[in-house]
A and B are shown apart, each in its own frame.
Chain A
C-alpha cells in the first residue's frame, strides 16, 4: 500500500490553520497514524486510528478520514509545531509511511 502525502513542503505563519493530506493506494479502513518529527529527534505519535488524539497532544491537532483519504489539521499553528509530519498505515505489510510534509515558518 502506497501513501501519498501532500504537500511535501508547507510554509505557514504562527496562527495559521494547516491541513496535510494522506492518500492510500487502497482502502485501509481507519488504520492510519500520524507522527511528528523534529530535526535530530525520534518521531512522536500524534494521532492513531485516523482520528484518536494521543495523550498529551494538544487539541489543536486533529485527524479525520477513512478508506483512502485522510487529513491532519493543525487549527492554529504554534512555534513548536514546525516539524515534519508523516502518515503511516499498519494494515498490511509493509507498514508504509508517507513521504512526509515539512512545515516551515513563513
Chain B
C-alpha cells in the first residue's frame, strides 16, 4: 500500500526557516516524480513545487520561488521541502503528493495527510 507521511510542520516566526519531510513507502520512490501542495486555512489548493524522477527539474510557484527548495533522497525514500524567509501567508497545511510517473500531463495519484505550518509572531 502506498503511504506518504509528512512531518516537520511547526509554529515559526516570520523570517524563520523550516524543513518538511515526506516519507514514502509501498512503491519504488525513485521511479516517480513528486510534488508539494499547500492549503491555507479555509482556502483552496495551491501547487508549491515538484521534482522530477532524477531530481534535475524543480519548478516552483512564483509565491515561493527563491525561498523554498524541493529535494529528494532516493536512498531514504524521502521528499523534502526546505522553507526559508517564511511569511504569514505561508501558513498552511502542506501535502506531499506522488505523481503518476511524471507529473507533467499526468496527475497526483496519492497524497499524504498533510503537516501544518503556522507562521506567526
Residues of A within 8 A of B (CB): 31, 33, 35, 37, 41-45, 48-49, 54, 84, 86, 88, 90-91, 93-100
User: Chain A at the B interface: mostly helix, strand, loop or mixed?
Assistant: loop
Establish whether residues B104 and A90, one from each chain, have CB atoms under 8 Å apart when the complex forms.
yes
Of A35, A94, A96, most buried by chain B (CB within 10 Å of CB) is: A94
User: Chain B at the A interface: mostly helix, strand, loop or mixed?
Assistant: loop
C-alpha gap A33/B60 in the complex (Å): 20
Given contacts A94-B60, A97-B37, 11 further A-B contacts (CB under 8 A): A33-B108, A43-B111, A44-B111, A45-B107, A45-B108, A48-B100, A48-B107, A88-B45, A90-B105, A97-B45, A97-B47
C-alpha gap A44/B111 in the complex (Å): 7
**B50 in the interface (beta carbon within 8 A):** yes
> Which residues of chain A are near B109, meaning CB under 8 Å?
45, 48, 54
C-alpha gap A45/B109 in the complex (Å): 6
**B26 in the interface (beta carbon within 8 A):** no
**B73 in the interface (beta carbon within 8 A):** no
Q: Which 3 A-B pairs have the closest CB atoms?
A: A33-B107, A42-B111, A93-B59
**B35 in the interface (beta carbon within 8 A):** yes
18 A–B contacts, CB within 8 A, in A order: A31-B105, A31-B106, A35-B45, A41-B113, A42-B95, A42-B111, A42-B113, A44-B111, A48-B107, A49-B107, A54-B109, A90-B106, A91-B104, A93-B50, A94-B47, A96-B47, A97-B37, A98-B44
